[in-house]
Structure formats: C-alpha cells, structure tokens
A and B are shown apart, each in its own frame.
Chain A
Amino acid sequence: MTNRILFPETNIVVPSSRPPVKESDLQGSAASYAIHLRDVSKSYRETGFSLRNLNFVVKQGDFLFITGPSGAGKSTLMKLVYGAERPDRGEVRVGGQNVANLSGNRLSMLRRRLGVVFQDYKLIARWTIAENVAFVLRSQGVPPDEIQRRLTPTLKLVGLQNKADCFPSQLSGGEQQRASIARAIVGSPRLLLADEPTGNLDQDNALQVLSILKKLNSLGITVVVTTHDLHLIKMGQAPVAKLQNGQLKLIPPADAST
C-alpha cells in the first residue's frame, strides 16, 4: 500500500488506501471504536475504592475530556485502558482488542499503538529529551535515519527543538510535559491518552499543551484528556464525560463545574 504524507510538518503518514469510516461501521463493529468499556468494574481492596459497571464508548477521531473530583478514579480508568491495571470484571476494548486479556509482548504491541501522557511526565532522568523520545522508536527497531526523520518534526510540534539535548532536570514543568507528549506521539499512535496533562502547569503552559492536543486531534488521532481544570474544558470546546461515584457519564460542557 502506498502512503501519502498528509501533514508534512509532523511527518505523520496516512495510509491512502484506507476507506473513510462510515457511521454505520461505527455502529456495526466494536473494532471501530477507539475505546469500548463494557460492564467494567474495578475496586481496590486496600482503599475500598471502586468503579462499577462502566459502559462507555470513545469513537475514532474523537476528542474527549474526562473530568471529576480528585480521587474519582480518572487515573485508574486510564490505567485500565493502557493495561497498567486489570478490571475485576468486564471488557476494556482498545481498537477491538480486549486489553484485560493481554500480557507480555502482546500488551507491549498494544501499547505501541497508543500514546500515554503521564501527569508526572515519567521521563527517564539519565537520558536526554531526544533519547527519551527516540527510545520508543528504538525499542521497535526503527532504523536510525528514520528515527531522526521523525524526531525533529515531533520535537518541533511541541516546541522543544532547541532542548533536544537537555536532560529532563534542565527543563521547566511545562517543557517536561511537552516532552512527555512528544514521546507519546512519536510512534504515530491512533489513540492518545493524557492524564491531567496540565495539572502541574500555569495557565499559559496549559493552553499551549491544549493547543498541541487539539492539533493532534485534527490530524486524526483520538484524544482522551482527564482534567479537573474547568478553564481548560471551556477552552477545549469538546465533549465532556464526568466520573463520579464510580460512574462515567457524558455531560453538557457547561455543567462540568457542578
């Protein structure tokens, strides 16, 4: 199949032979959902926290905010999606695959198809920003020249082209968060999960991160962002789901504060 570069500034390659997804496809096949939660329950015995019978769908190409008070289980929900936690019951389907059934190399392969931005960045301190971002590709056996070809535009996209050789400790919080985004997207994932990506940032940095996430969404990447930042939600102009009392429900954005 021949690939066509649609977005020269990011070098993200789009398979040209893939037909556009129709609404009927979305309804017909669970595989076309980016995320599909089915009767998902998860509880922590130590703290007594629990998510109960979650049913929820995120469609391909969506941008979704998940909000809720601190301790509502937003991070836990994300972990269920990227396979860091397993549900007690139910199915967590990502691109049609039930994450709960995956382990070992098959889980690694799934994680390569989604990008995760962590609230605490999770950058490796002894590596430079470039090394941190390149690691994702290196571990997949991408050749050096191809890594270089992807690295430069990715760092540019998050505005870190001049900090490539800095270590994480030499960057500000906002810059580290953007490095974390760069790492999450360098492998061209279809789905991007961002867990409170602006939690530690000031307003300016937060909006900068938001605009990067929106831009990625405009490139066709499904983006799910957890946040309790009402201002961000207001600026985001996107659907909002609220996690409260172990339940996840879509709400009108204007109601996010209640």
Chain B
Amino acid sequence: MRMPSLPMPLPFKVTVTQVQYLLQETVKGLQRGSWMNWAAVSTVTVLLFLLGLSLQTNWQINSFLTQAGSQLEISVYLKPSVSGATLQQQIQQFPDVASVSLVPRDRAWRELLTELGTTDLQGATDALGQNPLVDELKIQAKQADQVPKIAQMLTNFTEVDHVSYLNEVMQNLGQLNRGIGKMGWAVIGLLTLTALAVINTTIRLIVVARHQEIEVMQLVGATTTWIYLPFLLQGILFGLIGGGVALTFMATARHFMQQLLQQQPVFLQVLAKSLQLSPTQLWVLPLTILGFGSFIGLTGSFLAVRRFILR
C-alpha cells in the first residue's frame, strides 16, 4: 500500500504566503468593489472628520482657556469724559489688587487705528467727530479667585461704566465648548450607526455576490477564518482610508486657518497659538482617528459575516 502524503497541515500557523494572499485578496476586493465601497469609505470619512474636528476644537478651546486664564486681568471701562488717573490711585489701595495700569483713551485710539491699518489719526478722529473710546484700567488680581469679588466692588464706582474680566469670557466659552461637545457627540453617535450600517451592507453584498466562490473554497478545505478574514480586513481598510482622508482634510483646514489668522490684526493672532496642537496631540489625533476608523470598519464587517464565522 502506498500512501502519498503532504507534510501535516498546520491550520493555525500563519505564514508569509498566507498574509500575502490575505492582503492581495483584500486589495482586489476593494478594486473589484462597486460604488458601495465608496459609499462606505465616504461615510467613514465624514464620521472621522467630524470626530477629529470635535476633538481638535475641544483641545483648542481648552488651550485658549488655559492661556487666557493665567492672566487674571480685569478690564474697567470708565464713563465718557471721566479720567482714569484718580481712580487708578484708589484701586491701587485695594488689598487684593496687585497692580493697576491705565490705558488712556488717546493711546487706545491710536493703537486701535494702527491695528486697523490707519495712520491718519486726525482724519479718523474728525470723521467720527471725536475719539469714540473711553479710558480703561487694567487690573491684575493677586489671586484668581478674588477676581469676581474685585470686579463686583469696581462696578460700585459711579465713574465705572462696565467691568469685564476673562473669567466671565472663559465661563461663556466653557459653556459654548460643552454645548458644542454635546451636539458633536450626538451627531458622531448617529454617524457611527450610519457608518456601521453602510459597511455592514457593503460587505454583506460582496459576500452574497461571492457565495459560489466561498462554497468552492470551503469544499477544497479552506478554513472559515481563512475565507472570511479578507472581508474583515476590507472593513478595516475602509476605516483606515476614511481616517487618512479625514486627517488630510483636517491638516489642510488647520493650515488654512492659521494662514488666515496671520493676516488678521495682532489681537486675533493670539488665537493662532491656541489653534496649534501640542506634540502629544499631534500623535493622539491620528491614532484616535485611525483607531476608531479601524474599529468601526472591523465591527461593521464583523456584523456582516458574523453568522458565517460563529456558525
């Protein structure tokens, strides 16, 4: 009796040939795929772009809040025709106040006009009839938590027209940030479900279109893992491609914004600094986007082939 034999198959050992085959099949799957592939990739792209944008905006606002928050400054705008010099002396006496500086309306007006790009001071003043600004006092508190108390005391002066301090601005900004955050997460949640559904349908259609091939593969002894892995990889590839495109969009948008801000008046340029991402964030952002993209792709495609794999 003669017995031809192969070296005993090792079903769970993954070799270079196998990886090569799986990648080839995955790429072929994408090439062969119809418009459904593009539907899947674009849905994922939109999702990941929004996710990245929320994340980035959140970071930027936070960074702005921290930068601004360190200044502990209160601005006091006096009523027209009141001179700041005497009030400056008085406020200086407050125990919690570190320093008070006066911005006379004439200097403020000159600076504003310079920022706006005008040098003709007299012409601009004549056009308005007079200098429209008021004297301003800039007050540094010794401690951040005293800022609201000092601001409250300052409003009691009859000479004072309006008091504003960054905490107020920051509170508003913080609220805005949280508001955007909630809406963002709702939209991202909905888009995640949409992306899952589209990927699921796409992969399912491909599986159905290839059911004869799959049957043949089964008949010649290919394992379930082997047959369905390319579909899972294809799902992951949807996520990675979508993530790549989304990241490119975001980088372009950031670059564009920064260029735009550089052409703006000086006081807006401070913003440009907040828009920059820290070195850590520059890593975390792509990792999050690509990671989440792969996860969505894998989950969507797994849902599509689950009943075959878990059979």
Contacts and interface: CB of A to CB of B under 8 A. Distances in A.
A225 B196 CA distance: 48
A109 B4 contact: no
B5 A139 contact: no
Nearest to B227: A139
Interface in B194-246: 212-213, 215-226
B223 A108 contact: yes
B298 to A, nearest CB: 22
B128 interface: no
A71 interface: no
Contact of A190 (B4, B9, B11, B219): B4
B74 to A, nearest CB: 73
B10 interface: yes
Contacts of A190: 3-5
Contacts, number: 115
Nearest to A7: B4
Interface string A47-81: 00000000000001100000000000000000000
Contacts of B4: 12-14, 188-190, 219-221
B17 interface: yes
Contacts of A61: 1-2
A18 B122 CA distance: 111
A258 interface: no
Main secondary structure of the interface of A (DSSP, over half): loop
B21 interface: yes
B219 A122 contact: yes
Nearest to A83: B219
Interface in A1-48: 3, 6, 12-15, 18, 20-21
Q: How large is the interface on B (under 10, 10 to 19, 20 to 34, 35 or more residues)?
A: 20 to 34
Given A105-B11, A144-B17, A188-B6, A139 B1 contact: no
A183 interface: yes
A194 B32 CA distance: 33
Given A21-B1, A219-B2, A220-B4, A109 B18 contact: no
A220 B15 CA distance: 30
B11 A220 contact: no
B10 to A, nearest CB: 6
Nearest to A105: B223
B149 interface: no
Interface in B1-29: 1-6, 9-11, 13-18, 21, 28
B15 to A, nearest CB: 4
Name which of A14, A141, A190 has the most chain B CB atoms within 10 A of its CB: A141
A146 to B, nearest CB: 9
Contact of A84 (B1, B21, B219): B219
Nearest to A103: B311
A171 interface: no
Name which of B6, B216, B217 has the most chain A CB atoms within 10 A of its CB: B6
Given A136-B220, A139-B222, A112 B9 contact: yes
26 contacts: A12-B4, A13-B4, A13-B6, A21-B1, A60-B1, A60-B3, A61-B2, A104-B224, A105-B223, A108-B218, A108-B222, A108-B224, A109-B11, A111-B220, A116-B219, A118-B219, A122-B216, A124-B217, A135-B217, A138-B18, A139-B221, A140-B9, A140-B11, A143-B15, A147-B17, A219-B4
Interface of B: 1-6, 9-11, 13-18, 21, 28, 32, 212-213, 215-226, 311
Identify the 5 closest CB pairs spanning chains A and B, nearest first: A220-B2, A111-B221, A112-B221, A21-B1, A139-B222
